[in-house]
Amino acid sequence: MEQSWRWFGPDDVVPLRAIRQAGASGVVTALHQIPYGVVWSVEEIEARKALIAADPSLGLRWNVVESLPIHERIKIGEGDLTELFDAYRQSMRNLAACGVRTICYNFMPVLDWTRTELRHPLPGGGSALRFNAHEYAAFDCFMLERPGARDDFPAEVIDRAKAWFDRATQADKDALLATIMAGLPGAFDRYDIPGLRRHLARYEGVSREALRQNLARFLREVIPTAEEVGIRMAIHPDDPPRSLMGLPRIVSSEDDLAFILGAVGSQANGLTLCTGSLGAGAHNDIPAIARRFASRIHFAHLRNVAKEPDGSFMEADHLGGDTNMVTVVEILLAEQNRRKEAGDDRWRIPFRPDHGHELLDDVGKGSFPGYSAIGRLKGLAEIRGVMTAVSQLRGLPV
């Protein structure tokens, strides 16, 4: 498996040399400065590649795009989308021409990943990302005041949400809004409460089935180009894998993945196996999902979460939490071996450690939440150890 590392470009407080020190060689990045729907030019792509390769002694290469974002109008199915589809396809062609041929993307409406705490304290002074069900309910029901929101939560969660809201200061409420808006680091848009309400209103009438069909349309539009230029598309699951703010989520379960991969039956139409996103859903059996869709896994995010009965969850140690990471790594190594024996020249599956804890000297450095250096280095080292052990025991190539 190709050990990789997410890097947010020149503004990332984690420098490229740290990636090499962590033992990774693949750099997972994106041109976050380019607005959604605008073509990524060859010049911009080559400039990022040159930055990554500027010090040849590091041996780094841009191996995965995360993400080439999909414009919200495509998700909604709003208006004439010809120019947006054309722009997306041209960006794909430009990436392929520059040698970057794996694209991670998502189809989450409005927001990407959602948490209510970006730095939940850990014993000893570290911190972790956390989703508290009652704080999210307080936001949805009492700050956003979304009609019908209370119907989406158990009464006990609503009671705790109201208690939190009643004692919260304005600073507490502002911090919760900022946390929920954090979404994916590097994302282009942020909203205040009125702006979020306006954006949610655009999805009125977009049912779960309609969103599914809009995704299927997107795949029909772009997968032929992916096949033509040798791109592998890898959809990222919803995080968390449940409806938020009344919006449908359609990449949240094994059935969802079966629909997506069956919508266009091409090897270019694949999956980012995110063990944390899928693992936050009590309905998901991560090893079973990995086994079923192994041949279509083009990229992996390996992280772990610990779930609680009310729907809360927290980022756990990479080998802790609720998902058996050893079994997942064994499945991925076995799939790699199958690809290698079949003559696939891209048989190695790129993966990266995801959402590490903020630890030691990284505390207070201002890294993107979940993306400090030491926590991810720890996770990568743990996974590397599992890979080495499984490889030797099973006779599988790493």
Q: Which residues are catalytic?
A: 236, 274, 301, 354-355, 371
Q: Do residues 315 and 303 touch, judged by C-beta distance below 8 A?
A: yes
To which H or E segment does residue 44 belong? helix 42-52
Burial class (CB in 10 A: 0-12, 13-18, 19+), 352: buried
Beta bridge partners of 314: 130, 306
Question: Which burial class, exposed, middle or buried, applies to 296 when counting CB atoms under 10 A from its CB (0-12, 13-18, 19+)?
Answer: buried
* Residue 206 CB burial class (10 angstroms; 0-12, 13-18, ≥19): middle
Tokens 């610990």, residue? 306
What is the rounded distance in angstroms from the CA atom of residue 37 to the CA atom of residue 79? Answer: 14
DSSP letters, 332-355, are: HHHHHHHHHHTT-TT-SPEEEE-S
Q: Residue 280, class by beta-carbon neighbours within 10 Å (0-12 exposed, 13-18 middle, 19+ buried)?
A: buried
**Using alpha carbons only, what angle is made at residue 396 by residues 2 and 65, rounded to the nearest 5 degrees?**
20
Taking the C-alpha atoms of residue 163 and residue 237, their distance in angstroms, rounded to an integer, is 32
Sorted by sequence, the CB contacts under 8 Å of residue 395 that are 6+ apart come out as: none
Task: Quote the CA–CA distance of 326 and 338 in Å, as a whole number.
Answer: 19
